[in-house]
Amino acid sequence: MDNVKKILDVFSKVYQKLRSEKRTKYHRDLPLADYFIDRWEKASSMGFGEGTSIYDASLVLGEVKIGKKCWIGPYTILDGSGGGLKIGDNCSISAGVHIYTHDTVERVLYGNPIAIGSVNIGDNVYIGPHTVIGKGVNIGDRVVIGCNSFVNKNIPSGSRAYGSPIRIVGRIEDEQI
């Protein structure tokens, strides 16, 4: 039991040191594992593109492919178990975003098979916090999805969209925003 206490004491000191460093340098406090897991290394080990990072607090299921220079925020769900999920290059998937490639509604109500549909997200896409993207959706290139949206239909390239359900509210101009 003494050895366990010693190990816990060492772990606690390392954790406090890392926590203090992150607070001082970045003004942030993270979930425990994110102090010990390198986000870029995790992304690389999952076969994601160069320069992509994913928080350890993210859940990844099934066939998920992510391009280069993407940021996958904390507490995201990337569910490619129902037909695959593909995210292009230079995308930001904000905290709390859920992307699904299946649902069980018809199975629960009628005993039908689980409904599946792949999700494809183009290049240079921003998905706002707490957005839910349903199965079978395609999102084009250079798209901004506002926070708290429910994306249940395809969004063409160059669109600005938000809402629950999603609606297109404008276009991305060629000039910088």
pLDDT at residue 175 in the model: 54
pLDDT at residue 31 in the model: 85
59, β-bridge pairs: 77
Tens digit of each residue's pLDDT (9 = 90 or more) over 2-57: 889 999 999 899 999 999 998 999 898 888 888 889 999 999 999 999 999 999 99
Instruction: List the Cα angle 48/52/58 in 5-degree steps.
Output: 80
SS (H, E, C) 31-94: CHHHHCCCHHHHHHHCCCCCCCEECCCCEEEEEEEECCCCEECCCCEEEEEEEEEEECCCCEEC
Please confirm, yes or no, whether 98 is among the known catalytic residues: yes
The answer to whether the CB of 64 falls within 8 A of the CB of 76 is no
* Residues near 5 by beta carbon (within 8 Å), at least 6 away in sequence: none
pLDDT at residue 28 in the model: 84
- Residue type at 48? F
The secondary element (H helix, E strand) that includes residue 59 is strand 59-66
Secondary-structure class of domain 38-171 per CATH: mainly beta
Measured distance CA(8)–CA(28) in Å, rounded: 24
pLDDT at residue 174 in the model: 65
Catalytic residue chosen out of the listed positions 27, 98, 102, 130? 98
pLDDT at residue 32 in the model: 87
pLDDT at residue 176 in the model: 55
Tens digit of each residue's pLDDT (9 = 90 or more) over 123-156: 999 999 999 999 999 999 999 999 999 999 999 9
Q: What is the torsional sign of CA 14, 20, 26, 32?
A: positive
pLDDT exceeds 70 at position 83: yes
pLDDT exceeds 60 at position 82: yes
pLDDT at residue 95 in the model: 97
- pTM comes to 0.90
3-state secondary structure of 167: strand
Instruction: List the Cα angle 128/152/42 in 5-degree steps.
Output: 50
